[in-house]
Amino acid sequence: MSKRKPSNIKRTPPKAKASPAPISKPSKPKFSLDRESITSSLDPLFQKIFWGLAGFTLIITIILSLGSGINADDEYQNDYSEKLVSYYATMGQDTSALNISKGNMHLYGGFFDLVTGLTNKALGYDTLDRGYHQVRHVYNAIFGVLAMLFVGLMAKEIAGWRAGILALLFIFLSPRFLGHSLMNPKDIPFAAGFAIANYYIILLLKTLPKPKWSTLIGLALGIALALATRAGGLLLLGYLGLFLGLDFLFKHGFKGLSTQSKLVGTYAMYGIGIAVTGYVLAILTWPYALQSPIANPLKALGEFSELGIKIRVLFEGENVMSDKTVWYYPVLWIIKTIPLYVLTGFVGSLILLRSILKKYAPIPVLLMLFASIFPVAYIVYKNSILHDGWRHLMFVYPSMVVMATLFWLVLESFFTKNKVFKYAIYGVLGLLMLESAIFIVRNPHYSYVYFNPIGGGLKGAYGNFETDYWGVSTKQAINWMEKQGIIGDNMQDTVVIGTSFWYPVSRLAGKYGDKVQVKYTRFNNRYSEEWDYGIYPSRYIRGPHLRSDKWPNSRAIYAVKANNVPLTAIEKDADHFAYQGEAAIKAQNWLEATNQLQKEVAAHPDNELAWQSLASVYINTGNFPQAINAANESLRAAPQNETSLYFLGLAYLNTGNTEAGINALKESLDANDENSIVCYYLGVAYQQQQNWAEVVRYALRAIELNQRFKQAYELAAVGFEQQGDAQTAAQYRQVASQL
């Protein structure tokens, strides 16, 4: 067997392939907009869920808006709407929209009111038609959902579609925001404008130096919507400039200002172009601004930054003037009225800010943070006058929701390997969301009265904070009267309704024509007019009265409630004893007044006004012990009532009990420190004690409050004279002689 010869072929080992030279990657900016990939394999599914949820949100919000009552401020809005339509229909010949003293509506942008006014005109509705207000509510719902949608889109742009879904749920299940979306034509379109603009600012910064036209147009429209609602939309121009500058510096540093001069010009061109476009679009629907495109919007901004309208508000159990609220007024309102999942999330986002900035692109996060904090901080710093809670600051809420969303997602990421803690987070979040969702389900048409569980929810807030400050629940009161057959299409007799919310009640009952007459009466003077039924929301009732559980009183036949807390009461006045007593007082028929009022308190011993009027009658007839008793009975029904305390003080002074009189008058002044009459009688009381310093003090305060108060000048003159200041006394006597 032959052996195989070795092969002569020389085999050489293969040469190792040379490693390719590393390709240098462009350096990534330290603060890029894509800090971490936010894409997911589930994004197509999440995207479908997001848009499906957005559609569901729109349908539900519109349906809820159709059942909402009329915002009391619509009296001014609707008047403005009619005048705007006339202004544009006459090509500016009708100038009534340029200066509206009632409500200063000309200082507001006109977009919402112009669009709704034109729609109502096309449909043939006027303000007495319920359809007129439903048109406005549908538009309101659309703008509310627009704000919600862009909250979701902002969160999506920062943290992905899953974040967008969560943020959209967060804001939709926010009872206050949803409730305002049904009927608030000022603050909701304004908030929508801010949400839209902030979203497109994020897109602009992401796509510079070559943004899409859709981004530029969207940003200009967002700015226009905000500014065409309220002059505060000018703030967005500041946001745009600030974050364009920050984005450039974060990407290119200060050296870039000299080395990237072309890019600086690009940034400036886009910023100025967008700002000018948004500004021009806004003033096209704002006649007042069209008259002087620069000066008038700035004037309007100055007016609103001061918010010169002063009204009495209920805050922390005290009824105070809106210009005398404490610095933390808006902060506490926000803390008490946003859902706990947003409150916890927003506060948590401040604590975990470092982690959020590491996980997500920092510029959008900082924009959301700045948009949430700066306006509130500025309002606090300026000590601006606010009322009706924090509705004027509602435009900060969308960005707060985005920050809260980022917190919950980052918190979840800490426990990706610990399913127990992860599911615990889901459980806590679910329970917190369930609490607000249940409130909405129970109170679908006036969920804006929501208070979170801090302090006991709505029940804990009752009598300490305003609830239905716009009287929206008057619609449910009218609905109840219709169901009971008290008012209806087949009415034979005229029904007279007295109310402290004349506009919404008169419009809701407008379909019945002259068969239902609506009279305006202040709650604290509600028997000055004769009516069959009274509709009175809690807005103008003092906190101590509400907390006493004596309202609704025994005259009430029905109360509209939220979570078992009364919002509006319907009183029935079949015998008119109280009204007849008031009429007799006006005629100074003291015997008849006593007779009628005694009948009233015998039938309804919790009627504080009847007892109060009895005290007045007894004072006028010199029956001071009975006056003291009647005033005290009134105070049992309505504690700390300023008028009852005033009568009590006068009665004590007339019995010679000066100290008790002073104490009662001071309590009255505590309830209302702007009552010149009470100040004057305090001066008189101290005159009895010969305490001349206090005489002068209260006389001067009375004059400060009422500069034509002749008796106060005379009292001040006596005080100065007794203090040895004859010259000043003579001056005050001279003024008194001229009055």
> Looking at the structure, do residues 547 and 640 belong to the same domain, yes or no?
no
> Looking at the structure, do residues 219 and 124 belong to the same domain, yes or no?
yes
> Looking at the structure, do residues 343 and 381 belong to the same domain, yes or no?
yes
Predicted TM-score (pTM) above 0.85: yes
Question: Into how many domains does the chain fold?
Answer: 3
Residue 17 has pLDDT above 50, yes or no: no
The CATH number that applies at residue 593 is 1.25.40.10
Note the pLDDT of residue 125: 95
Note the pLDDT of residue 11: 46
Query: Could you list the residue range(s) of the whole structural domain that residue 697 is in?
Result: 580-737
The tens digit of pLDDT for each residue in 389-412 reads: 899 999 999 999 999 999 999 999
Helix (H, G, I), strand (E, B) or coil at 568: strand
Rounded distance between C-alpha atoms, residue 631 and residue 645, angstroms: 7
Q: Which of 30-34, 71-75, 501-505 has the highest mean pLDDT?
A: 501-505
Sequence letter at residue 213: W
Does residue 18 belong to any structural domain of this protein? no
Note the pLDDT of residue 677: 95
Mean pLDDT confidence for 661-667 = 95
The tens digit of pLDDT for each residue in 267-292 reads: 999 999 999 999 999 999 999 999 99
Which helix (H) or strand (E) is 477 found in, with range?
helix 474-483
Residue 25 has pLDDT above 60, yes or no: no
Domain end (from 543, 572, 601): 572
Sequence letter at residue 488: G
Note the pLDDT of residue 305: 61
> Looking at the structure, do residues 107 and 132 belong to the same domain, yes or no?
yes
Residue 35 has pLDDT above 70, yes or no: no
Note the pLDDT of residue 382: 84
Q: Could you identify the residue written with the tokens 């606090």? A: 380
Distance of alpha carbon 427 from its chain centroid, rounded? 31
The overall average pLDDT reported for the chain is 92
Which residues share a beta bridge with 313?
A: 320
Note the pLDDT of residue 38: 66
Does residue 173 belong to any structural domain of this protein? yes
Share of the chain above pLDDT 70, in %: 94
Residue 310 has pLDDT above 80, yes or no: no
Q: Could you identify the residue written with the tokens 């006459």? A: 90
> Looking at the structure, do residues 127 and 189 belong to the same domain, yes or no?
yes
Domain end (from 393, 423, 442): 442
Residue of higher predicted confidence among 405 and 101? 405
Residue 568 has pLDDT above 90, yes or no: yes
pLDDT-derived band of residue 307, with 50, 70 and 90 as boundaries? low
Which residues fall within 8 angstroms of residue 407, CB to CB, at 6 or more apart? 344, 345, 346, 348, 349, 352, 356
Does residue 32 belong to any structural domain of this protein? no
> Looking at the structure, do residues 321 and 266 belong to the same domain, yes or no?
yes
> Looking at the structure, do residues 437 and 479 belong to the same domain, yes or no?
no
> Looking at the structure, do residues 341 and 260 belong to the same domain, yes or no?
yes
Does residue 465 belong to any structural domain of this protein? no
> Looking at the structure, do residues 534 and 682 belong to the same domain, yes or no?
no
Mean pLDDT confidence for 648-669 = 95
Lowest mean pLDDT among 10-24, 39-53, 488-502, 612-626: 10-24
Peptide bond into 20 cis (omega under 30): no
Helix (H, G, I), strand (E, B) or coil at 465: strand
Cβ atoms of 533 and 556 within 8 Å: the answer is no
> Looking at the structure, do residues 263 and 206 belong to the same domain, yes or no?
yes
Residue 36 has pLDDT above 90, yes or no: no
Note the pLDDT of residue 306: 59
Domain end (from 572, 601, 627): 572
- Number of Cβ within 10 Å of residue 361's Cβ equals 21
Lowest mean pLDDT among 294-308, 316-330, 675-689, 716-730: 294-308
Rounded distance between C-alpha atoms, residue 334 and residue 539, angstroms: 19
Residue 575 has pLDDT above 90, yes or no: yes
Mean pLDDT confidence for 171-192 = 97
Sequence letter at residue 61: T
Helix (H, G, I), strand (E, B) or coil at 185: coil
Does residue 11 belong to any structural domain of this protein? no
Residue 34 has pLDDT above 90, yes or no: no
Does residue 514 belong to any structural domain of this protein? yes
Note the pLDDT of residue 24: 40
Cβ atoms of 379 and 386 within 8 Å: the answer is yes
The tens digit of pLDDT for each residue in 349-388 reads: 999 999 999 999 999 999 999 999 999 999 998 888 888 8
Which residues share a beta bridge with 559?
A: 569
Residue of higher predicted confidence among 364 and 28? 364
Cβ atoms of 625 and 658 within 8 Å: the answer is no
Cβ atoms of 104 and 295 within 8 Å: the answer is no
> Looking at the structure, do residues 288 and 354 belong to the same domain, yes or no?
yes
Does residue 447 belong to any structural domain of this protein? no
Does residue 34 belong to any structural domain of this protein? no
Rounded distance between C-alpha atoms, residue 640 and residue 194, angstroms: 43
> Looking at the structure, do residues 417 and 278 belong to the same domain, yes or no?
yes
